[in-house]
Amino acid sequence: MNHKRKKSVRATICSQKALLIMSVPLLLYQILFRYVPIYGWSIAFQDYKPGRGLWDQKWVGFSNFKKLFTGVMGERFTRDIVNTLGQSILTLLLGTILAILLSLMLNEVKNVAFKRVIQNITYMPHFLSWIIVAGIVSVALSEPSAGGFINSILMALHIIDQPIQFLAKPGYFWGIAAGSNLWKELGWNTILYMAAMTAIDPTLYEAADMDGAGRYRKIWNITLPSIRPTIVILLIMSTGYILEAGFEIPYFLGNGLVVEKSETIDVFVMRYGYQMGNYSLAVVAGIFKTIVGIGIVGLVNYIAGRLGEETLV
């Protein structure tokens, strides 16, 4: 029995030899840039001073962890966790729902040329750097005299009487961060959903036509159930980045007036870790993000399995 199993494994490896060889560079990349640097986590347990060897530092145990989660620093870090979660969850919900809706609408477009034009238009912002996106958003939200077309549109529609200082009011910042991510990545996020839709058996739609089902009924009873595994898997993977609200938008658009809502964990690490030379504190924050991300992915994956949905493992 064991001999047959070994023979089967050997045959599978031989049949997939080309794919295994192609995966070697990616595997080496992951090991080199994802696993080898983990030894740097030792800095979290040191009073790290640049210029000394990594193993010649003063070891302080868990004092850096205590410093990060208690006192004034702990209050600020807790606030930044809330900001990070708020921006990430809002971005995830809006991005997922609207990407699915856009995919469904594009899937219903029969004019191939028009469909490609719409896809190209929605894909293009993905290739812009975040600094360019931040500049565009800053101008769009400014005074009408400075090119702020959003204020101009709202005033033209008589929704507001006076221009709103969007980047000076903390209550707007989570929406600004989510909207910026949505504009940049919405089209790109439809790619996998569109690919999943192309794999749906056309005979299902033909049978629905024979039964008199309309377009919306076919979307609800055929398209959405068929791409549900893709939706679930992407959601599970996205939850691993729930503490990755992004660095660029909070950093470039944030200011002293909105810092209570704009500062995220990444900005905190930049300001209180690297700029102030407290590298140990920055590493502790990174460890926290990694452990929480892994835990959330595992929890969501378990819940999906219990509900009978697709899972990562």
For the CA atoms of the chain, what is the radius of gyration? 25
Q: Which two tokens stand for residue 110?
A: 């029969």
CA nearest neighbour of 289 among 253, 250, 256, 247? 247
The answer to whether 65 and 281 have CB atoms below 8 angstroms apart is no
Give CA–CA dist 134/52, Å, rounded.
38
* Interior/surface letters 125-147, b for 16+ CB within 10 angstroms, e for the rest: beeeebeebbeebbebbbeeeee
Q: What is the mean pLDDT of residues 206-221?
A: 88
Q: With 90 as the cut, is the pLDDT of residue 211 above it?
A: no
Q: With 70 as the cut, is the pLDDT of residue 1 above it?
A: no
The answer to whether 197 and 107 have CB atoms below 8 angstroms apart is yes
| Residue 184 burial (C-beta neighbours within 10 Å; 0-12, 13-18, 19+) | buried
| Residue 309 burial (C-beta neighbours within 10 Å; 0-12, 13-18, 19+) | middle
Instruction: Write the pLDDT tens digit of every residue in 239-289.
Output: 888 888 888 899 999 888 999 999 999 999 888 887 888 889 889 998 999
Q: Three-class SS of residue 181? A: helix
Confidence class for position 213, pLDDT limits 50, 70, 90: confident
Give CA–CA dist 244/292, Å, rounded.
11
Instruction: Write the pLDDT tens digit of every residue in 165-188.
Output: 999 999 999 999 999 999 999 999
Which amino acid does the sequence have at 147?
G
Which residue in the block uniquely carries the two structure tokens 């039964």? Answer: 211
The answer to whether 200 and 226 have CB atoms below 8 angstroms apart is yes
Give CA–CA dist 246/270, Å, rounded.
12
Confidence class for position 6, pLDDT limits 50, 70, 90: low
CA nearest neighbour of 264 among 86, 43, 121, 12? 86
Give CA–CA dist 205/200, Å, rounded.
9
Global pTM reads 0.86
The answer to whether 253 and 262 have CB atoms below 8 angstroms apart is yes
Instruction: Write the pLDDT tens digit of every residue in 93-149.
Output: 999 999 999 999 998 888 889 989 999 999 999 999 999 999 999 999 998 888 889
Backbone angles phi, psi at 235, to 5 degrees: -65, -45
pLDDT at 13: 78
CA nearest neighbour of 260 among 177, 166, 169, 193? 169
